[in-house]
Amino acid sequence: MDGSGTQTDPRVIDAQLDFRTFIDLLRDDGDLVDIEREVDPHLELGAIVRRVSETNNKAPLFHNLKGTTKDGLWRAFGNAASLSGHGPDRFGRVARTFGLPRDATWKQICARTQLAKSASPLPPNILETGPCKENKILGADNIDLHALPAPKLHHEDGGKYIQTYGVHMLQTPDKSWTNWSIFRGMIHDRNHIVAQVNPRQHNYVVKEKWRALGETQVPWVLAFGIPPAATLAAAMPIPEGVSEGEYVGALAGRPLDVVKAELSDILVPANSEIVFEGYMSLEDRAIEGPFGDYLGYSFEDDKRMQPLFRVEAITYRNNPIFPVSVPGRITDESHTTAALAAAEILTFLQARGYPIKDANAPLETMATWCALQVDGPGLRARVATPAAFCTELGELLYSQKCSMLVNRFILVGEDVDIYDFQDLIWAFVTRCRPGRDEYYFDDKPALPLTPYQSHGGGDPTKGGKTLSDCLFHMEYEGGPNFLKTDFETSYPAEVKQKVLDTWTAMGFD
């Protein structure tokens, strides 16, 4: 295979559902570095992964971590869904995650994530055992998280963040819904992790169902190195009540192979690299943080009391691989996974008949902005004033979980390429009149991780949500009466072609 792959290539399809096949495929793509020298998980690993993110470099696989246990725990892998260079295949890792050619566009990737919406959920294939059961450490007294080569990722972190790219699994008491999600977790003591749980997330909904029954703990699994498509699905704003395991089966077109956990009825991917099992306490809490998070800041006072998770079993594959994400400034997994919410937002709006053609959350904004491209004729058919349309849209969107990470929606016309940030920002600065064309939703739930919410004054839990209207009033009425003044628009085809044909000969690069 030449590395470009096609969607019918068996290994490209398999890589969606197998972490090791995914890694091998990246190696064949020339998008992976095997690091054989010893690397210290205390800051050195984090520094390498962080610099890879900031330079859009190859994904690193660390074969020799300092402190690896005699049981083989563990190798490490970073940058599973960050960018690959700056060329046409820069989204290659995310594309491979969803079984696409490595040069797939972001628009194609987003469309791929929504295929499961038109298919029935595909229940998993339950096996008696699987690779994740090759080795077992059972009993809380036999577990010492401090003995593992868990990384300290930023020097300002409050501890060793053992969980940055694994997937938490919680099941409702009636077992009708198993939620998979990604949220950070720090080692608290030898057999406890303290993890950040946000009230607006589905894991919070699940734990409250147990609390309502008078329970004091919730069966819990944390699985590392699961099928890549499942990891990204766990980070996406899938509707409440939908089990990610079934969603991924529908997305990939075949069921996930799963096995029953050791301590509960939770089903985990059979080819997971490492699986922690135990219980989430509904009573015991401890300090979590600070942590250098995905918006690029670490605040000394970012410490909160958060739930404790007791680890009572660890199962793992032979020679396991531990996935790591090191959040910070663009571009890492936090940003690419957050940007996938735009696809969910588009599906949500179109299902309700809104005249929106496309949606994109630019990585340059850390996916805190989402551009909405309007269908002009559809907009004018609604016979709505700008204020009425924008207010209705903002009220609806900022009440949905799929918009949780978005702080600004930007409404643009069909002439704006929402996948070209230069085009988008040009429309924003020339068409949106400050104040008059901006709509604020100060009563809506905020994203507290946003620095201007947590440290900028005002209520950190509400507001900070805006919709910027970059449509001229004429676009609501009779359509646009303007043209762009640029090379593509302002000259006849024969003139442009003559310039292009002689460009290099004239001395230009």
Annotated binding residue 184: yes
- In 191-260, beta strands by DSSP E: 192-195, 217-224, 257-260
Question: Which residue in this structure is represented by tokens 């949905």?
Answer: 400
Annotated binding residue 201: yes
- Contact between 137 and 282 under an 8 Å Cβ cutoff? The reply is no
CA dihedral 426, 430, 436, 440 (to 10 degrees): 10
CA dihedral 428, 433, 435, 439 (to 10 degrees): -50
Annotated binding residue 224: no
Short-list 46, 245, 286, CA closest to 165: 46
Cα end-to-end span (Å), the chain: 33
Annotated binding residue 156: no
Which residues are within 8 A (CB) of 494 and not within 5 positions of it... i.e. 6 or more apart?
none
Which tokens hold the place of 313? Answer: 């079993």
Short-list 183, 150, 185, 193, CA closest to 308: 193
Phi/psi zone of residue 15: left (φ > 0), alpha (ψ -120 to 50 degrees), beta? alpha
- Contact between 359 and 351 under an 8 Å Cβ cutoff? The reply is no
> Rounded to an integer, what distance in angstroms lies between the CA atom of residue 216 and that of residue 207?
10
Question: Which residue in this structure is represented by tokens 């003559």?
Answer: 498
Amino acid identity of 415? D
Annotated binding residue 112: no
Annotated binding residue 425: no
> Rounded to an integer, what distance in angstroms lies between the CA atom of residue 81 and that of residue 90?
10
3-state secondary structure of 460: coil
Annotated binding residue 181: yes
Annotated binding residue 179: yes
Annotated binding residue 210: no
Tally Cβ neighbours within 10 Å of residue 30: 13
In the DSSP assignment, the letter for residue 74 is -
Phi, psi of 429 (to 5 degrees): -80, -15
Annotated binding residue 202: yes
The angle that helices 244-252 and 228-235 make with each other, rounded to 10 degrees, is 130
Residues that constitute the known binding site: 179-184, 201-202, 244, 401
Annotated binding residues for prenylated FMN, written as ranges, equal 179-184, 201-202, 244, 401
Summarize the annotated binding site for Mn(2+) as residue ranges.
Answer: 179, 202, 244
